[in-house]
Structure 1
Amino acid sequence: LAAHWDTRPFADKDENPAAKFDGANDGASGVAVLLEIARALQAGQPPAVGVDIIFFDGEDWGHDTETWEKIGKGKPANFPLPPGLDSWWCLGSQHWSKNKHKPNYSAYYGILLDMVGAKNSHFFKEGVSMQYAPAVTNKIWKTASQLGYSSLFVNREVAGITDDHKYVNEIGKIPMVDIVHYHPALGFFGDYHHRTKDNLELISPETLEAVGRVLLAVIYSEE
């Protein structure tokens, strides 16, 4: 299980692009669910399979020329990528996928949480997840439907996005699914994305609970 715990260091989609913001959904929500998952696993019956939890750093540091000029940092060319990295996005997962914490580490599969706490969220079957881990993706969405969360976990495939799971799949060779709030019809992650309105007022306890219950059900279904 994974999430990124960093928050983008500037609200570059805001009127004041250099402003800081809380990142209550984009960063903190996935971390919050996984911390509660850890507490539940510790307090309850041990599952039949081992569960590892990893929090990636540097997921939201990505930039382009427009972003960096807006915040007064110059152009990205002035900040070349360090050796061994393919993108300024998802820095932690890129590094971990190439330098795992244990030699020869692997897992049956992974589940990534990103922006999983907003009101009126919808989670679609994201393209990279369906490319590398279709069986796991379908299992998660089927479980959500059985628990009564089909309006939240929408049974529809959408285009892939760049997120931490991309590098865990491609480099780490672990099939990983991304549960992420993304609106395919509008082509964006929500009007709070990388803006100062990404704060606690955005968060729905019901959404967080639903995601947590689905994950626990999936974990305990494994034999």
Structure 2
Amino acid sequence: MHMTLKHTIAGLAIIASLLFFGCNSDKSNKKQSTTQRKSQKAATPIFNADSAYQYIATQVNFGPRVPNTEEHAACATYLANELKRFGADVIVQEADVVAFDGTVLKAKNIIGQYNLDKPKRVMLCAHWDTRPFADYDKDASKHNTPIDGANDGASGVGVLLEIARQINQAQPNIGIDIIFFDAEDYGQPIHLNLAPKEDTWCLGSQYWGKNPHTPNYRAKYGILLDMVGAPDAYFFKEQHSMSYQPDLVNHIWDIAHNLGYGYHFKKEAGGWITDDHVYVTNLRNFPCIDIIQYNPEARHGFGDYWHTHDDTMDNINKNTLKAVGQTVLEVIYREN
């Protein structure tokens, strides 16, 4: 009796112990599974360069997208509709901005928002307007005529439209705001020999920086794309960007190299370029970095086509679009 009772008690103790550890193990596994789910990054989509190329061609086919023109208005409608088609919550921010010569420009910043419930946000941006002057064209008779702006304007927008299409199919773990800034390229032309005036460029981003689409808008960081389609384009580390957030720049360039795009993304210092990212950073107080073609051997720092009538679809290369687009997708889909 004594021996039987002892073994019974021991058996019950073992069963209780197994149940206890079993329950704890189950809780631990559930906790671990939940942690894994939270930390698991969304799979990065494959960037389609053919698709981006077509978005660029469509913009160019409207003609020069200079503010206050029919071509500009038509393209604005197209861009807003494409973002809507790709599932974005779209805001068209209309603004009257004053150009260097006193012209009032009817500007439109076009904003597409994804995952509005996510407080952690990343902003992707590009300018969509084109230069009203060809002030660096070799033919002086063309200096006062607008350019196609296939690379300078349309390329960044085309890449972001393809990214929007991919986001619509597979959401990242964060909120994304895509902004197409207007009136970036209406700055003082060199051929008029005017007295220098501050802040004549990037009028759309200046307006947005002071009047964001969401009160007190702030993102973890922003990435600006400008002139990202030319053959053999090199993207050096732009120096304003490095002063704002060097770790972010290095992170993006490392990702590009890991993906095999080191040919385009040079781990060398570039120039100090006044672009939309400067106004975003200074006015909204979060870092925005610039992925922009840079040519240290050119007197103006850019490609030979820059601000000339050579800025056509001939300057758009699908391999370059792929390098930039896939890199940016990888950056945002690694975020948790």
TM-score of the superposition, structure 2-length normalised? 0.60
1:85-122 per-residue CA deviation (whole Å, 9 max, x = no partner) reads: x5110101111111111111100000000000001100
Does residue 10 of structure 1 match 2:133? yes
The structure where helix makes up a greater share of residues is: 2
Alignment of 1:7-86 (within 5 A): 7-14=130-137, 15=139, 16-44=142-170, 46-64=171-189, 66-68=190-192, 75=194, 86=198
- 2:305 maps to 192
- Structure 1 stretches lacking a partner, 5+ long: 70-74
Partners of 1:204 and 1:174 in 2: CA distance = 32
Partners of 2:305 and 2:126 in 1: CA distance = 19
From 240, 250, 263, give the equivalent of 1:151: 263
Partners of 1:126 and 1:120 in 2: CA distance = 18
- Structure 2 counterpart SS, 1:25: helix
- 2:290 maps to 178
- 1:212 maps to 325
Partners of 2:234 and 2:159 in 1: CA distance = 16
Deviating beyond 4 angstroms after TM superposition, the runs of 4 or more aligned structure 1 residues are none
Contact 1:68 1:76 in 2 (8 A): no
By how many angstroms is 1:166 displaced?
A: 0.6
- 2:29 maps to none
1:161-194 per-residue CA deviation (whole Å, 9 max, x = no partner) reads: 1000011111221201100001123342110000
How many equivalent pairs are there?
209
Does residue 203 of structure 1 match 2:316? yes
Percent identity over the alignment?
Answer: 52
Contact 1:125 1:137 in 2 (8 A): yes
Contact 2:217 2:284 in 1 (8 A): no
2:213 maps to amino acid: H
Partners of 1:55 and 1:17 in 2: CA distance = 26
By how many angstroms is 1:76 displaced?
A: 6.6
Contact 1:59 1:91 in 2 (8 A): yes
- Structure 2 stretches lacking a partner, 5+ long: 1-123
2:203 maps to amino acid: L
Contact 1:10 1:18 in 2 (8 A): yes
1:49-92 per-residue CA deviation (whole Å, 9 max, x = no partner) reads: 1110001011111105x4336xxxxx579xxx8xxxx5110101
- Structure 2 counterpart SS, 1:18: coil
- 1:72 maps to none
User: Greater Rg, structure 1 or structure 2?
Assistant: 2
By how many angstroms is 1:10 displaced?
A: 1.5
1:109 maps to amino acid: Y
Partners of 2:226 and 2:244 in 1: CA distance = 18
1:8-40 per-residue CA deviation (whole Å, 9 max, x = no partner) reads: 012111112122221000000000000000000
By how many angstroms is 1:133 displaced?
A: 1.5
Contact 1:63 1:76 in 2 (8 A): no
Partners of 1:202 and 1:157 in 2: CA distance = 24
Q: Relative contact order, CA 8 A, sep 6+: which one is greater?
A: 1
The structure where strand makes up a greater share of residues is: 2
Partners of 2:320 and 2:270 in 1: CA distance = 21
